[in-house]
Amino acid sequence: MALFNFFSQEIAIDLGTANTLIIHNDEIVVNEPSIIALNRNNPKEVLAVGKRALLMHEKTHESIRTVRPLKDGVIADFNAAELMIRELIKLVYPKKPLFPPSWRMLICIPSSITEVEKRAVRDSAEQAGAKEVYMIHEPMAAALGIGIDVEEPVGNMIIDIGGGTTGITVIALAGIVCDQSIRIAGDEFTADIMEALRRYHSLLIGERTAEQIKIQIGAAMKDLDNPPDDLPVNGRDLVTGIPKQIMVSYQEIAEALDKSIFKIEEAILKALETTPPELASDIYKRGLYLTGGGSLLRGLDKRLSAKIKLPVHIADDPLKSVVRGTGLALKNYQRFPFIMK
């Protein structure tokens, strides 16, 4: 058995719509965008993965295609997902080991996932070389990563605004009590920004530019305490067809994102309505926890706490809290009851 343990290695994977992170031996060894560049003539040939593939995104010619294998938190392109997981696992050991280890993997899945989608994750992991595949719901992992004791009989509300989905979950006694999931998150914000610039400035921009705008001046409120400077944005003028540059302010972006954030607020209120009263009193004392990349939007915590009238806490490193929690769960995978075989 000891020999098997020598060849068996454990990794925790947060397979996200926007980014994939892998933890091995308690440290994050892979943190790459979930995108892969493939050769169109030979779809099994991987040209680039992660950051290098992202640099190619929307700039390719006809023999290269870039694929984002995950959509709305679940696998949309099975073959690309399997190739991407395999390539990212290779990054864990940059030097090729003499005996390739057999992996024990713990993978995060959205709590609203169907059995078929769960099966797709498991199959992709097994095809990519996993001997044992365990799964954990993302809100559980996020709670562990934030540092909440999930096993105590106290209610905690976790709001995970990721790339494809926003999950709003109430956790108590190491289980999920109620769960709302909406497909409005980072990707939707990016699409809103593209649409706003097209409508008000008749400027056509790509997904990557919109993503950069969101990161640099994205905001949830029009009046911030320390507002970011206006950002020059390059794109194609829809009227003349000539490339041009405009200056965009954070207020415009806040207005563009307003509808989507309103939908997230509605979903949080709906989740609070279905919460059992005893847990609701715990949430009143403890407030809500925000995690995921979307929680980095400027002023989002203020806007939510003004609407819901409860304290809102942002996790210390919201992009990594899910994978950290997955790493913790992997260490004690026999102890936690919510890890699915």
Annotated binding site for ATP: 17-19, 163-165, 211-214, 293-296
Q: What whole-number distance in Å separates Cα of residue 336 and Cα of residue 179?
A: 20
Residue 83: count other Cβ atoms within 10 Å of its Cβ: 23
Which residues are part of a known binding site? 17-19, 163-165, 211-214, 293-296
Residue 74: count other Cβ atoms within 10 Å of its Cβ: 21
Q: What whole-number distance in Å separates Cα of residue 56 and Cα of residue 64?
A: 9
Q: Locate tokens 């395999």: which residue?
A: 86
Q: What whole-number distance in Å separates Cα of residue 176 and Cα of residue 213?
A: 35
Question: Are the beta carbons of 270 and 177 closer than 8 angstroms?
Answer: no
> What is the bridge-based pairing of β-strands 288-291 and 312-314?
parallel
Phi, psi of 97 (to 5 degrees): -70, 160
Conformation bin of residue 292: beta by default, left when phi > 0, alpha when psi is -120 to 50: left
Both tokens of 293, joined, read 């990349």
Element (H or E) spanning 74, and its range?
strand 74-75
Q: What whole-number distance in Å separates Cα of residue 281 and Cα of residue 112?
A: 25
Q: What whole-number distance in Å separates Cα of residue 261 and Cα of residue 257?
A: 6
Give the 3-state DSSP-derived string for 181-201, with helices as H, strands as E and coil as C. Answer: EECCCHHHHHHHHHHHHHHHH
Q: What whole-number distance in Å separates Cα of residue 22 and Cα of residue 188?
A: 25
Alpha helices in 169-276 (DSSP H): 186-201, 207-217, 250-273
